[in-house]
Each structure stands twice: as structure tokens, then as C-alpha cells.
Chain A
Amino acid sequence: MTPLLSIVIITAIALAGSVFFNRFHISSWWMKGLAYSGLLYVLMGCLSGPEVLHILTVKVLDGLNILVTLVLGWVGFLVGLQTKYRGLKRFPLKYYLNGFINYLIAFVLSFTLLSLTSYLLKLNFLEIRDIFILSLTGAISSPIIIGSLLKNERVHAKLSYWLQFNAAFDNLLGVVSIGIWFSLFTYLKLDGQAGIKILRVVIPLLVAGMGYIIYRTLFDLLKSRQERLILNLGSLLVVVGTAYYYGQSILFVSFVFGSILANSRINTRALYRSVQDIEKPLYILLLFFAGAYFSVSPSKNLILLIGLYFGTHFISKIFMGPISNRSHLIREKVPVWIGIGNIGMGGLSLAMIIEYFLLSGAGPNGLLLSVLILSILINDLIAFRYLQGVVVIGSRVKKNLLSIK
């Protein structure tokens, strides 16, 4: 297909999508769910990618590598920025304990079930590290769905508040887990003396600390909006580039950087303002890249793995309701099937899988990414539908549904 025709098609999709979502009131729950999950951007990425219209060829994607790295860094950085101690202190300890137990159970169950079925069904195309990363992505949930409901509907306040905390906390645990995993992986993979190996694991974290010193020094010097953009982009690129250089998790190292900044004397409100400007475009880019890497042709392995992943994911999350009820988190009872509302996945899981491909060199057109994208769509729809029934108690004036966050 000619590039010009491709441009026309993509623009037409963007226009049609935008006009559709902006001008018409969408009452169908599944259309809302698809809009919340960012389907349009995944679809556009997929259409632009090497397998369909060839606008984003493999060469272009290679050239955009630095942008992908930056997007991953930004995702981790934002999670880190939310870990201000004063803010975390506001939540009761039982919230953390409950969140941690839910996360642990989801991960362990997911990993065990996936390993077991993979062994029994002789799924040789799945390596143990693939199962590990799938289980990690399965253990986290999407804060976006509940956030969107909070923004656009009248909701059950305490339940939504707890659910949002839970989603944010398992995202944090997910980033920390992938960080630990990559550190161990790098340590075991490297040759040489133990001292050098430890140094190579630690250096990216030291650079994150150094990045803070540089950031702190320049924060008062670079004050305009454009200068703050330079400061944020520059320091983050140094930090994420170092993580990438040393084979460490970009998400984790940038999370550490964000966390240090959040807990420093820097005015985080000003920092948030400057960071927020670029948050949404970068998240859309993430969806777009994921779409571009998506393998379009359906295969037996893909269908099998989606089924398997969905099944294990569902089972591993279903215990959330009963466990949470035992912890007496909120005055009312948590719905027993609340785990269904927690199977939505969202941006971080995509970021984790893209990082896995980037660092392990497994190639972008991977089966896992396709599984994850399709699972996000399916899971987000189910989670959205379920939460709508449980959490929503009335409706507000509709806003632009493409405003994901």
C-alpha cells in the first residue's frame, strides 16, 4: 500500500474515532470499556505497523527505540512520584497487608498454574522466564478503569477508594518485582568476579541517586515550562539509558528516581505539573507502540495461550474478595467476586512486557505481546462491566471518553 494512502487511512481513522467519541453519547457499556482500554490507539499502532500499512517499518521502530525507552522510564517515574511517604502514611496498614497478600497470591497462583499447564500440555515455546513475566503482568491490575469510573460516574466512595488504592499498590509491587527479577537475572547472567557483578547491578541505582542530585541542583535554575521539560527529559533519559545499558529494569530504576524525587524537598506539586504535561501523550505512544509490535496473524499457539492466560489470571484473582473480607477493610462487606473487577490490566503490564522484549532481546513481534494486548482488551471489558455493576451508583455528565486518565 502506498504511504500516502496509509496516511489518509490513519488520519481518517483518527478523525472518525475522535468525532465518534467526542460528538456522540456512548451508552453501550462495551464501547465505553473499549474506549477506556485505549483500543483506538492500539488499533492505530497495529494499522501503522510493519504487518499492515508499513508506515512504522521495523527500521522506523528501531529508530524510535529511544522514544520507547523514554516511555518506559516515564511509566516507572510516575509510579515512583506517587510514593511520597506523607501520602502513603494516610492509608491504614491493613490496606498494605491485604494488597500485598492479594498480589502475592495472584502471582504465585498464576505462575504455578501457568507452569503446570505448560508442562502438561508440552508448550515448548514457553520458557520459564516467559511464564514469569506473564505471571508478573497478571498480578497487577488497572488503576485506569476505576479512575475513569471515579471521574465520569457517581460511585460507591469507600469501595472505589479501596479499589483504587489496591490497583495503585499492586502496580508499585509489580515495578519492584520486575526490578528485583532483572537484577537477579543480570547478576546470574554476567561473567566475572562477584564484586564487579554487584557493582553492575548497583550502578544504575547510584545513577538514579546522582540523577536526583543533578535534578535538585538544576531545579531552581531551570524554571520556565520549556526548561523544566529539558530537566525532566534529560535527567530521566540519563537514568533510564543507564538502566538499559546495564540490562536492569528501566521501569524499576526510573521508579527509584521518581521515588527519591517525591520524597525530597523539591516542590512535588510543581514537579507534577511539569510531568503531567507529557504523561498522556507518552501513554498513548506506549499503546501505539504495542499496537505496532502486535502480531496480526492468529496462530494456534496464540489462541491457546490467550485461553490459558485468561483462565489462570481469572483463577488467581478470584480469591481477592474472600481474603479482603477477612481483613475488614471497609465497614461494608467487599463483594465476594470483586476479583473480577481486578482483572483489568492496563498500561503498566504493557510496559512490562515491552521492557522484557527490549532487554531480553526476544524480538518485538513476540507472541507474548500479542497475548497481552488481546488479554487487556478482553479483561478490561469484563472488569469494566463488573465494576460498573458493583461500584457505580449513578451517572454524571459525560466527558470525553478518550481522556484515558
Chain B
Amino acid sequence: MKKSITTILLLVLFILIRRFAPPSDHVLHAQSAVLTGIVLLSAYLLALLLKNVKLPKLTGYMILGVLIGPVGLNFLDHSVLDSLRFLEDLALAFIALTAGGELKYERFRQRAKTVLSLLTGQMAVVFTGLFFTLFFFASHIPFLSDLPEDIIIGLSILFAGTALSTSPATTIGIITEFKSKGKMTDIVLAVTVLKSIMVVLLFPLIMAWAKIYLIAGTSINYELLKTVGVQIVGSIVIGIAIGYIIITYLKYVQIERSLFLLGVSIVIIEVSALVHVEILLTSIIAGIVVENFSRKGEDLIENIEKSSLPLYIIFFSFAGAGLHLDTIQKALGLTALLVILRMLFLYLGNITGAVLAKEDGDIKKLSWLGFVGQAGIALGLATIIENTFPGAVGTTFKTILISSVVINELMGPVFFKYILIKTRETTEGI
């Protein structure tokens, strides 16, 4: 009762604060500060409330985001979200550093075969399965039925390509929330992080390939591939450099480690923007370097975890606010089809990988549920696609893709929590 009343009170308080505020030059910054406070408190309270119905806290944060985001009460409107983008990037950098920092080679060496098999199985089956299904059944799918064959091939490549993406933030968020440990946790985390790296590496190639079919007269743009290659190598090099800087600092400087990590995250964001590299990839690589090339991995995780809760709340509430729920109704049928197909091929790909790795039991039957979540990367990719293919095709594609991401992102944490409880790798939240 206390929780629900306080949540409502906080939202009413914001309405009153906004109602009487005088006009000024710094309205946006001030509003952002108040809203961040309200999000921190009310998202956490809502998450506690939803815990009673066995939903993970991450889902609670996202639901609060949806409630006060542009499709809900519109407190967190686009201008506020833009002004707080930096905070969201900061949270992403921290989460990705944690994800990399959890990947200890020695721990995964004995599970390397399973991880690689699942990764290969999922990527191969999801991509080819979705591509061929959409291509061969295009005449029965409303959005695709009237389009020329080349366009259908191009769009099928894009749908299949974006279906590969997953959400390392959700995975690490759930692992942190439920303090899970064990085989399933290790495997899902490793596959998710590696798959995210693969998606970042492969997506430019997929885009270039799709363009050949979607834009008449386009051939493989080698210059673009070169640029992308340089960016990827850049991400890795910068990630390694930052990893070593963190190691040196943790080793020799005994003070203000959390503050230093905040500084490092800011540097990652800035450098990523300057030289056009991926925050996610750079941070994951930096985390992997710290974990595997020093004895400071534990220190890194410990220092990040000290302040991780506010960052998770901010990241997932903003992600919720950014979910375009209103788009679902525009393409409900196709969205549902895409979600079901993705899950089906994810299941089949996972079984294939498990069989190859001679895995049985829970890993074979259940682990696919840990990969349902999709987030930031897929949304980013959808925007790139819309910009690359302006007009009705690009916009409709984005709508469908975002809608499916919304559904996957809301289901992902619930499914992952379910398998962690089922495999007894967590005792929290049971």
C-alpha cells in the first residue's frame, strides 16, 4: 500500500511542480533533474510492487518508463530523454563494462564448446530460417506481398539480420538482480555478449548486402566496408587501451575508484562519439581486458556494483520510455508473426547448437529463453535502416521492427528469470 501511494504521490508531485513553474532558460535541465529523481524512486517502488506478481525488477523499471514516457503521461518526453541521453549512455557504458568484466576466460574455457556451438547454431538457424521463411511466404504476408522480388530479398535480409540482436544489458541486469551463479548463467551471458559483438561486426555487412537488392544500381561498397572495418578495429583497440588504463589505475591508485570509473565511462562515450566507434563494443572489450589480463576483475565489478542500481533503473526506465508501444497496433499481425518466428528459430538454433556440443538437459531445453530479450542495438539498427531507406518501406520496416523489439524486451527478463529459478541458479525472487 505504502509503495503504490508513494508512487502515485511522486507522479502527482511532478504535475504540481510543473504546473506552477515560472518560465526560465533552464527549464529542460531542471525538469530533467526532477524527473530523474522521480524515476529513481517510483521505478524502484513499482518494481517492488511487481515483485509480488513474480516479475523481475527490470520489467518494473521499463513499465514505469512506458507509463511516464511519450506514449503514456508524456513526462519523459523526447526533449527530456534527449537531454538525459548522456546519462543513458553512461549507464550503458557501465553495464557493458560489467558484462565484459564477467567474462573470465578460465571460467569459460571448459564451456567454450557449448558457448560456441550455441552461438553458431542460433546465428545460423535464426538468420537462414527467418530469411527463407519470409522470402518463400512473402506472398501471404500483407506488407511484403505486393513488393517486387528484389525488395523482398532485401527486407528479408534486414529482418533476419536484426533478429540476431540480443540484449546484454538485460542479461547482465537480471544476473545482477538475482545474483545468479552457475552453468546456465555463464553460458547465457557468454553467448549474449559474444553475439552482441558479432552483431556489431556483421551488421554493416548485412546492410551493404541488403542495399544491393533495395536500392537499384547499388553494388557492394568497399569504401563503406573499409570504414566499418576501421571503426570496428578502432573499438577493439580503444577498448584494449582503456582496459589497460583501468588495470593500471586499480593496481597503483588506491583512491576513488568509483569516481575513476565514472571518468572512464565519460571518456568511452566521448571517444566513441569522436571516432564513431560503438560504446557497447568498446566497453565490453575494456571489461574483458581487465578481467582476463589482470587480477583486478573482481575489483572492477565490485566498484561498479556499488553504484549499479541507480544506473540500471535509469537505463531500463529510459528504455521503457523509448519503447514505441503505439506502433504495435499499426502492424500487429506482422509483428506477432515476426516475434513467433524469431522465437521458433531461436529454439531450433539452440537445440542444434546443444546437440553439436553434446549438451543435454536444461541447456538444450531451456537456455533459448535466455536470449529472447532485445534492446538498444536493435532499436539503433532500425533507425539506421529507416535513414538508409527513406520513405514508406523504411518507416514501415522500422515500425514492425520496433514493435517486435518492444514485445521481446518485455518478455526477455521474465523468461530469463524463469530459467534461472528453474535451474536453481538463484534463490532470490522465488
Binding site for B on A (CB under 8 A): 3-4, 7-8, 10-11, 14-15, 18-19, 22, 55-57, 60, 63-66, 69-70, 186, 190, 196, 199-200, 203, 207, 210, 214, 217-218, 221-222, 226-227, 229-231, 233-242, 244-247, 277, 280-281, 284-285, 358-359, 361, 400, 402-403
Contact = CB atoms under 8 A, between A and B. Distances in A.
A55 B270 contact: yes
Nearest to A197: B22
Contacts of A11: 245, 248-249
21 contacts: A7-B241, A14-B253, A15-B252, A15-B253, A18-B255, A65-B29, A66-B84, A186-B22, A200-B20, A214-B9, A214-B41, A217-B2, A218-B2, A221-B48, A226-B308, A231-B41, A233-B310, A237-B36, A241-B32, A241-B35, A361-B25
Interface of chain B: mostly helix, strand, loop or mixed: helix
B238 A4 contact: yes
Contacts of B34: 237-238, 241-242, 245
A196 B22 CA distance: 10
Contacts of A239: 37
Contacts of B85: 63
Nearest to B258: A281
A229 B249 contact: no
B309 A230 contact: yes
Contacts of A244: 26, 29-30, 33
Contact of A60 (B13, B84, B86): B86
Interface stretch (B146-154, B259-267, B328-336, B349-357): B259-267
A214 B241 contact: no
Q: Which 6 A-B pairs have the closest CB atoms?
A: A237-B37, A241-B33, A63-B86, A241-B34, A234-B40, A238-B37
Given A199-B20, A233-B310, A241 B30 contact: yes
Given A3-B271, A60-B270, A237-B34, 4 more contacts: A63-B85, A214-B9, A226-B309, A245-B17
A247 B24 contact: yes
B183 to A, nearest CB: 27
Interface of chain A: mostly helix, strand, loop or mixed: helix
B44 interface: yes
A236 B37 contact: yes
A66 B87 contact: yes
A103 to B, nearest CB: 30
A214 B8 CA distance: 11
Contacts of A19: 252-253
B307 interface: yes
B3 interface: yes
B86 A234 contact: no
A217 B34 CA distance: 19
A226 B86 CA distance: 22
User: Which bracket fits the contact residues of B?
Assistant: 35 or more
A15 B36 contact: no
Nearest to A4: B241
Q: Which has the most chain A C-beta neighbours within 10 Å: B37, B38, B238?
A: B37
B151 to A, nearest CB: 39
Nearest to B31: A245
Contacts of A247: 22, 24
B118 to A, nearest CB: 32
B194 interface: no
A296 to B, nearest CB: 20
Nearest to A200: B22
A400 B255 contact: yes
Contacts of B83: 63
B27 interface: yes
A284 B256 contact: yes
B41 A240 contact: no
Nearest to A358: B26
A207 B280 CA distance: 38
Contacts of B41: 214, 218, 230-231, 234-235, 238
A234 B42 CA distance: 9
Contacts of A230: 40-41, 44, 309-310, 313
Q: Which has the most chain B C-beta neighbours within 10 Å: A22, A69, A241, A284?
A: A241
Contacts of B258: 281
B38 A234 contact: yes
B241 A281 contact: no
Nearest to B40: A234
A237 B253 CA distance: 31
